[in-house]
């Protein structure tokens, strides 16, 4: 399966500390972070199964991709997900409730209608959070444990400014941009 288009986006998953609610030995959280569909995280315990993605500072998030494949994982395939965001575990709010009827490959969960235009004149703002939590509420065929083959977290790509441009755009700074 081909990857969705990530042009205009920046993968920020490596900036985060990742933790899961449980893991079968040999199928830990490192398998989620590698974005390789051949490896997987397998939960071990009661639902909901939680994946916590914690950033050291607040991040702008426009999309997350979750790799799930019902043909490979049968009853281990996630069906209902809750994506939550906040500053810490005590103030998490549900941002999206997602149903994956027959997932095959990367499932894109968007927090903006046009992620590549976030922060431009479109006026659309990204999700801003220190902590992102993916809660797997149920699996296909009422499965108990779950398989997730990868998660990627994306922020809007920052604009590369030329050396001769001032990075500040306020009126106060722009009036001093050139020397008379």
pLDDT digits (tens, 9 = 90+) for 83-115: 999 999 999 999 999 999 999 999 999 987 765
Q: Report the distance separating Cα 180 and Cα 176, nearest Å.
A: 9
Distance CA 79, CA 70 (A): 10
pTM over 0.85: no
pLDDT-based confidence at residue 67 (cuts at 50, 70, 90) = very high
Burial class (CB in 10 A: 0-12, 13-18, 19+), 110: middle
- The whole-chain average pLDDT of the chain stands at 88
Rounded to 5 degrees, what angle do the CA atoms 175, 179, 180 make? 95
């Amino acid at each position: 399966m081909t990857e969705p288009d990530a042009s205009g986006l920046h993968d920020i998953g490596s900036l985060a500390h990742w933790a899961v609610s449980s893991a079968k030995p040999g199928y830990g959280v490192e398998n989620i972070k590698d974005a390789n569909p051949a490896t997987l995280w397998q939960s071990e315990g009661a639902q909901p199964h939680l994946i916590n993605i914690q950033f050291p500072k607040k991040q702008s998030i426009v999309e997350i991709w979750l790799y799930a494949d019902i043909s490979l994982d049968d009853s281990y395939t996630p069906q209902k997900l809750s994506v939550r965001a906040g500053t810490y575990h005590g103030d998490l709010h549900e941002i999206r409730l997602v149903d994956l009827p027959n997932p095959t490959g990367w499932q894109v969960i968007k927090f903006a209608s046009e992620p590549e235009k976030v922060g431009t004149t479109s006026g659309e703002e990204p999700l801003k959070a220190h902590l992102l939590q993916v809660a797997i509420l149920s699996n296909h065929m009422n499965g108990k444990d779950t398989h997730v083959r990868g998660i990627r977290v994306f922020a809007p790509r920052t604009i590369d400014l030329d050396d001769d441009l001032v990075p500040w755009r306020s009126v106060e700074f722009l009036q001093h941009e050139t020397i008379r």
